[in-house]
Structure 1
Amino acid sequence: LGGAMGSSFTLTLANIFMWKWQKEFVRRQDMTGEFYGRYIDDIFMTWNKSEKALQDILDEANTWHPNIKLEYKISRSLPFLDVFLTNNHGILSTSVYHKPSAEPSVVPFISDHPSHTFANIIKTGLTRAVRYSSTFEIFNNERLYVKLTLLYNGYPSSLIETQFRRFFSEYISSSSFLPYMDDEKQFLILRNTLLKQPTHRQSQVSMSATKADIHNDQADGVHTVFEKTADEKGKQKHDFPD
């Protein structure tokens, strides 16, 4: 048996299967106050006991089902999806993860796209930098990476500075010479604001759920009207028997 790749139904079945498979993992992590998170087939978890004990648990997990084999990496610093996490003596810091083999490429400025596409690319890069950077220093490094990537792909400096200033407009002085923040408190305020906002993907999921609820409500409404009509017909037959 199998399912079509990319199908919502197949993904749902896979998540149900993984939910059952990971129950023992979650139970053990809860008992020790550790963190466990999974996105599709990527898992991230914390551990404060010996590395050997963790390896034993992961090796045991590979025996739970013949079709599930974990490939794991244990380290104080490692990537999870597009976030790079580092354990600094018990304090987790985060930054944007860039694969070493990945080219610093975005949609080239010479491509035939509407102008708002380039503005959105700049905004997306800055938004990711703010959300993923746990400190002001990490953010500044990522901001520089974003700017260099844009220049590498042919974006004019004037456009970059204009979009940077527009992005930070609420957090820097209008008379500031540099189009970015230079104060850690301003950065933390901006980061907390963005972290409270849903991502584009979260907004899509919420919209889909809302549409599904509306559809179900409409279906329930039709069903209710039908039942009411049937009741009224029954009353009519009762009041006026043949």
Structure 2
Amino acid sequence: MLPQEEALDILIEFLHVHGYTKVKGISLDTIRILAAIVLQENVCVYNNKIYKQMLGGAMGSSFTLTLANIFMWKWQKEFVRRQDISGEFYGRYIDDIFMTWNKSENELRKLLDAANSWHPNIKLEYKISKSLPFLDVLLTNSNGILLTSVYHKPAAEPYVVPFISDHPRHVFINVIQTSLARAARYSSTLEAFNHEQRYIQLTLLYNG
């Protein structure tokens, strides 16, 4: 979870680095004060006692998510620097990271283990393989060629909105269009696209 004071410091650093002295006429000092109120003035009641949140931010708060992204921006600087030097790829979506590596696996494990010491509140759980999912994309290294396809979690059930449900008709059209568009965008080969197309057809048949 986010250390509150450190996160607020990083927020102001982020704004400075990107050339802000004010945001929509509001000074950075005022922004820090307002951000502190949002982050630190969260309480809950349990067994007739009032508890104040001392670490992290409120769950579901859009500001907490934004601040977490900015916090990760600070943390990942060393990672990005090392990847840039070696010409490798580094990408992150919130707390999911995907990166390439062309040195030994032992060196990679050393880097990842070292990264786990950069901040006490950030610990990486990593997987090293020639085929890995990142969000809903499956990426595969096939003899040096990067292949992509749609990834479905093993526990995912093939359910969509049933055709007999009382939804506006455009909802059903959108389900099909979105699924096919994702298949077209994510499939790097015709074989992968055809496989996903069959999956979509079976899912629709299953849901009536």
Give the TM-score of the pair, scaled to structure 2. Answer: 0.72
1:11 is displaced (CA, Å) by 1.6
Q: Which residue of 1 aligns with 2:50?
A: none
In terms of Rg, which structure is larger? 1
Distance in 2 (alpha carbons) for counterparts of 1:76 and 1:92: 10
Q: Which residue of 1 aligns with 2:185?
A: 131
For the residue of structure 2 that corresponds to 1:15, the secondary structure is helix
1:101 is displaced (CA, Å) by 1.6
1:6 is displaced (CA, Å) by 2.5
Q: 2:119 aligns with which of 57, 65, 72?
A: 65
Q: 2:137 aligns with which of 83, 92, 98?
A: 83
For the residue of structure 2 that corresponds to 1:44, the secondary structure is strand
Distance in 2 (alpha carbons) for counterparts of 1:47 and 1:80: 15
2:138 partner amino acid: F
Once the two structures are superposed, what CA deviation does each residue of 1:187-208 show, in whole Å capped at 9, x if it has no partner? xxxxxxxxxxxxxxxxxxxxxx
Distance in 1 (alpha carbons) for counterparts of 2:60 and 2:144: 38
Once the two structures are superposed, what CA deviation does each residue of 1:156-203 show, in whole Å capped at 9, x if it has no partner? xxxxxxxxxxxxxxxxxxxxxxxxxxxxxxxxxxxxxxxxxxxxxxxx
User: What is the correspondence of 1:9-28 to structure 2 with a 5 Å cutoff?
Assistant: 9-28=63-82
User: What is the correspondence of 1:1-242 to structure 2 with a 5 Å cutoff?
Assistant: 1=54, 2-154=56-208
For the residue of structure 1 that corresponds to 2:97, the secondary structure is strand
Give the TM-score of the pair, scaled to structure 1. Answer: 0.62
The unaligned stretches of length 5 or more in structure 2 are: 1-53
Q: How many residues were matched structurally? A: 154
1:54 partner amino acid: L
Distance in 2 (alpha carbons) for counterparts of 1:111 and 1:72: 41
Q: Which has the higher strand share?
A: 2
Distance in 1 (alpha carbons) for counterparts of 2:198 and 2:160: 15
The unaligned stretches of length 5 or more in structure 1 are: 155-242
For the residue of structure 2 that corresponds to 1:85, the secondary structure is strand
1:8 is displaced (CA, Å) by 2.2
Distance in 1 (alpha carbons) for counterparts of 2:200 and 2:72: 36
For the residue of structure 2 that corresponds to 1:79, the secondary structure is strand
1:92 is displaced (CA, Å) by 0.7
Q: Which residue of 2 aligns with 1:174?
A: none
Distance in 1 (alpha carbons) for counterparts of 2:111 and 2:79: 9
2:189 partner amino acid: T
1:65 partner amino acid: H
> How many percent of aligned residue pairs carry the same amino acid?
79
1:26 is displaced (CA, Å) by 0.3
